[in-house]
Amino acid sequence: MASTLCNYLPELLCKFPAIDQTLMRGVRKTVDDSFKSFVRAYGNVIDALTTPLQHFLNGLESLFVNTPWFIILAVMVLVVYFASRNMRIVAVTVIGMLFIGLVGLWEDTMITLAIVTVSTLLAIVIGIPIGILMARSDRAQSVVNPILDVMQTLPSFVYLIPVVMIFGIGKVPGVIAVVIYAVPPMIRLTNLGIRLVDREVLEAADAFGSSPGQKLMNVQIPLALPTVMAGINQTIMMSLAMVVVASMIGVGGLGKNVLQAISNQFLTIGFLNGFALVAIAIIFDRTSQAYGKRLQRHTEVVHG
């Protein structure tokens, strides 16, 4: 029926008009060649810029892997306890980490922890200043918001293409891909937290003659901390999710094991590594949420 109808209609109405393929090939070739030329021209500069990150990542990974397991576990228990003050979360941490060690995934988990730690720190260092800038400037917000929308809707696999073309394959490119994927919530929630600070509190700070810097450091950031902590929580969760995808370009740890299990159809190995990632995610999530709630209660007590 449809083909019959098209016999009586102009071709333009039956076949969607497309750009000429020769023109498309020319555009693609121009863009790809320009990108490759840029990478070749500035390859040494890019390597120099990423070398400190490589050293930092290797150092932290070596520390986590080579430190005896009971010391790592004791430090984790102390950090979880002082952050959450909740013995149930401490018990979950101990059980989860013992499970990981008993199934032989301790070293891979330490590698993953190092990658997630470095990625989260980088996301915080990059995200908080951009979030503050957005909170203080509507124009900056109108520029950054569409970029964040693209970053959050672009399929995670697509991130890997430009990252591999610029930085190659390895742990550092993987960390960069994880940071690009995980940094948007950090920026958005920092911006939101500062913008939600009570206007009357800001007016009181102005009345006491606070400078913009003093107002930011002593009033806005402390009051926005619970929301900023929610951003850190989201960043950690997204980093853990992206670690598996980033294993395709050379990131080791649990993600690499999951990828190998998929390739070889090893159901048990895949599930064990997946459960290890879930255990880490639960520990980070519950701890950061509990810390955020403590900050929230403290803020309510201090400011009524």
Structure tokens at 274: 């997946």
List C-alpha distances in Å: 57 to 112, 216, 271: 11, 32, 27
Radius of gyration of the chain (CA): 24
Tens digits of per-residue pLDDT, 277-300?
888 888 888 888 888 777 767 666
Counting beta carbons within 10 angstroms of the beta carbon of residue 9, is it exposed (0 to 12), middle (13 to 18) or buried (19 or more)?
exposed
Tens digits of per-residue pLDDT, 79-90?
999 888 889 989
**Does the pTM of the predicted model rise above 0.75?**
yes
Quick one: average pLDDT of 204-211? Answer: 80
Sequence-distant (6+) residues with CB within 8 A of 197 are 219, 220, 223, 224
Tens digits of per-residue pLDDT, 127-166?
999 999 998 888 999 999 899 888 888 887 777 777 877 8
Q: What are phi and psi of 157, to 5 degrees?
A: -65, -30
List C-alpha distances in Å: 280 to 143, 196, 277: 35, 31, 5
pLDDT at 130: 93
pLDDT at 33: 85
C-alpha span between 199 and 218 (Å, rounded): 15
Q: Which stretches within 43-105 are classed as H helix?
A: 43-66, 69-84, 87-102
C-alpha span between 262 and 126 (Å, rounded): 33
C-alpha span between 109 and 103 (Å, rounded): 11
pLDDT at 300: 61
pLDDT at 126: 93
pLDDT at 17: 76
Select from 125, 117, 76 the least CA-distant residue to 253: 117
pLDDT at 95: 92
Task: Report residue 188's pLDDT band, with 50, 70 and 90 as the boundaries.
Answer: very high
CATH of 33-303, one of 3.40.640.10, 1.10.3720.10, 3.40.50.300, 3.40.50.10610: 1.10.3720.10
Tens digits of per-residue pLDDT, 216-247?
888 888 888 888 888 888 888 888 888 888 88
N- to C-terminal Cα separation, the chain: 72
Select from 54, 16, 9 the least CA-distant residue to 251: 54
Helices H / strands E in the chain, number of each: 15, 0
Task: Report residue 304's pLDDT band, with 50, 70 and 90 as the boundaries.
Answer: low
Structure tokens at 199: 């206007």
Segments making up each domain of the chain, as ranges: 33-303
Q: Are 14 and 6 in contact (CB under 8 A)?
A: yes
Select from 257, 242, 110, 237 the least CA-distant residue to 176: 242
Tens digits of per-residue pLDDT, 22-66?
888 888 888 888 878 888 888 788 888 888 888 888 899 899 999
pLDDT at 77: 93
Quick one: average pLDDT of 114-124? Answer: 90
How far is C-alpha 109 from the geometric centre of its chain's CA atoms? 18
Quick one: average pLDDT of 94-118? Answer: 90
C-alpha span between 90 and 287 (Å, rounded): 9
Select from 235, 263, 267 the least CA-distant residue to 127: 235
Average pLDDT, rounded, for the chain? 84
pLDDT at 187: 93
pLDDT at 271: 87
Quick one: average pLDDT of 192-204? Answer: 84
pLDDT at 302: 58
